[in-house]
Amino acid sequence: MQAFRTGRNSILSRLFLGNRVEKILFAATKADHIPQSQHSQMTSLIQAFVDDATRRANFSGAETASLAIASLRSTTETRQSHAGKEMDFVRGTDLDSREQIAFYPGQLPDNPQSILSEADQSIGAWSLSEFSTMRFAPPKDALRSGEGMAHIRLDQAAQFLLGDRL
C-alpha cells in the first residue's frame, strides 16, 4: 500500500500533490469455486488479511471495501449427500479432463482469526488439510447474446469503484 498515495482529492491537493487514490477494493477472487453459503466467510477472510492496510487507507481518507467476486462464473451450485451428510458442492468442467465434476472445496472457518493465528505460529495445517481447490474451465455458453457473461458481484465492484464517476 505504500506505493499509493491514498486520501481525498481536492483542488489544492491535485495542484500541489497530484491525484490520490480515493477508493480501494480488496477482492477475494474465484468466488465461484466455493458455494455461495461460504462467500461471507471468504469476504471476512480477505478483510482480516488486509486489516492493517484498510485502517491506514481509511485514516488517510480513502474509502475501502472488501468483496468476494468472480469475473466469470465457471460453476453452479449443487447440494449432495456425502458420507450421510448433506453438503454444498460446486459443479463445473474440470480444466484438464474436460469432464463435469461436483467438487467439495471444504469449509472456510467462521472466524478468520483462526487462520491468522495459525499463520503467525507457522502451523499452516488448516490450508493443507481442510480446504482444496480445482481448476474449472469457463462454461460453453459464457458469452450469452445480449446478457453478458455470468459473474459474481463484478457489478458491485464496478459500482463501488466507478459509480460516483458515471
pLDDT per position as a tens digit, 38-89: 999 999 999 999 999 899 888 888 899 999 999 999 999 999 998 899 999 9
Of 122, 75, 129, 121, nearest to 102 by C-alpha is: 75
Helix-strand-coil percent breakdown of the chain, rounded to 5?
35, 25, 40
Q: What is the pLDDT of residues 71-80, one digit of tens each?
A: 999 999 999 9
Tell me how far the alpha carbon of residue 166 is from its chain's centroid.
24
Domain of residue 128: give its range.
11-140+149-165
Note whether residue 159 is domain-resident: yes
Tell me if 125 is assigned to some domain: yes
Q: Which residues of 93-111 are buried (b: 16+ CB within 10 A; e: fewer)?
A: beeeeeeeebbebeebbee
What does the pLDDT read at residue 159? 96
Provide the residue count of the chain.
166
Domain count within the chain: 1
Residue 74 forms part of a structural domain: yes
Judge whether residue 9 has pLDDT over 80: no
Q: Is residue 115 part of a domain?
A: yes
Identify which of 11-25, 28-42, 111-125 has the greatest average pLDDT.
Answer: 28-42
Could you tell me if residue 30 is inside a domain?
A: yes
In a domain, 6, yes or no: no
Whole-model pTM above 0.85? no
67 found inside a domain: yes
* Domain assignment of residue 103, yes or no: yes
